[in-house]
Amino acid sequence: MKRPEAHTVDAHRPLTPADLFPAGPRGRLGRNVFIHSTIDSTNLFLLNHAATAGDGAVAWAEHQTAGRGRLGRRWEAPRGSSILLSVLLIQTADSPLLSRATLLAALAACEAIETRSEARPAIRWPNDVILNDRKVGGVLAESRPITKGGQRALVIGVGLNCLQQPGHFAGELATRATSLEIATTHPVQRGALAAALLQRMDHWLDACASDASAWPLLRRAWLGRCDDIGKRVHLHHDSRSFSGTALDISEAGDLIVQLEHGGRRHFAAANTTRTA
């Protein structure tokens, strides 16, 4: 079922804090909101301003000149086309959220897309948001120490392709990437989608902070959306290639794989690439 014509509705309308928090900040996120027309990277901005921006700060950009992806890759998007946002969380150095942030944000992104369209996105470990077997978004969680009392600044960045047309995806992205405009039939409203994303992130952050049973719930919801479980995966780790069947994720978000040459192995996102 595909609509006969494109119906982009908010192309290039710069967003405001009220778009991101229509009812005002209700949870941990949003007491400080930084809207940038152009910036190098919203993740970098919050990492660099962690000491002053404050816990729960949100950075949004219409355009990034040095958008960061996982494993040092770039994240590119035409001006005004996407959700490019990051949130800052001040955590203790032993906080479990440091290793679970990617899972939380990828799940929140799927849930947000689902509230705004008929699509049911999936997750490809560790950080891809997938629609129709193509990448529609990604999560990059980064942390660094801040001077105060051994705490860490955790920055979770989310990029979601919203208004791109097929011609915007060049090279290998032409067959691997998609946008909500391409893959769904509902008009894409970046502001409403971003608000839903922040609301779902707030929901899971609050649940995990206040109730020990929330993490298993989150993990189950994540596994329910993970496109890899039960399927063959091909990974590169420590200069070696591995193939096997994805079984599960660990507490820390590692992918647990039954290797085809025998044995089970945990793969950490930080030093594993997917080769297919």
Of 50 and 94, which CB lies nearer to ligand BTN in the complex structure? 50
Run of H or E including 180: helix 180-183
What is d(CA 91, CA 124) in angstroms, rounded to the nearest whole number? Answer: 26
Secondary structure E strands in 31-150: 33-39, 58-64, 82-92, 122-124, 128-131, 134-145
Out of 3, 73, 144, 176, point to the residue binding ligand BTN (CB under 6 A).
Answer: 73
Shortest Cβ distance from residue 60 to ligand BTN (Å)? 9
Of 49 and 245, which CB lies nearer to ligand BTN in the complex structure? 49
Q: Is 63 helix (H, G, I), strand (E, B) or coil?
A: strand
Binding part of the chain for ligand BTN, among 10-18, 82-90, 102-110, 219-227 by CB under 6 A, reads 82-90
Shortest Cβ distance from residue 61 to ligand BTN (Å)? 7
Place of tokens 């899971």: 204
What is d(CA 123, CA 106) in angstroms, rounded to the nearest whole number? Answer: 7
Out of 32, 64, 117, 164, point to the residue binding ligand BTN (CB under 6 A).
Answer: 64
Shortest Cβ distance from residue 45 to ligand BTN (Å)? 8
Diameter over CA atoms, the chain: 57
Residue 70 contacts ligand BTN per CB under 6 A: yes
Of residues 90-119, which lie at the interface with ligand BTN (CB under 6 A)? none
Place of tokens 């079922």: 1
Exposure string over 59-86, b if 16+ CB within 10 A, otherwise e: bbbbbbeebbebeeeebbbeebbbbbbb
The site string for ligand BTN over 3-42 (x = CB under 6 A, - otherwise) reads --------------------------------------xx
Residue 84 contacts ligand BTN per CB under 6 A: yes
Residue 157 contacts ligand BTN per CB under 6 A: yes
Shortest Cβ distance from residue 270 to ligand BTN (Å)? 13
CB 86 within 8 A of CB 157: yes
Of 97 and 148, which CB lies nearer to ligand BTN in the complex structure? 97
Q: Are strands 232-237 and 128-131 parallel, antiparallel or unpaired?
A: unpaired
Run of H or E including 215: helix 214-225
The site string for ligand BTN over 130-149 (x = CB under 6 A, - otherwise) reads --------xxx---------
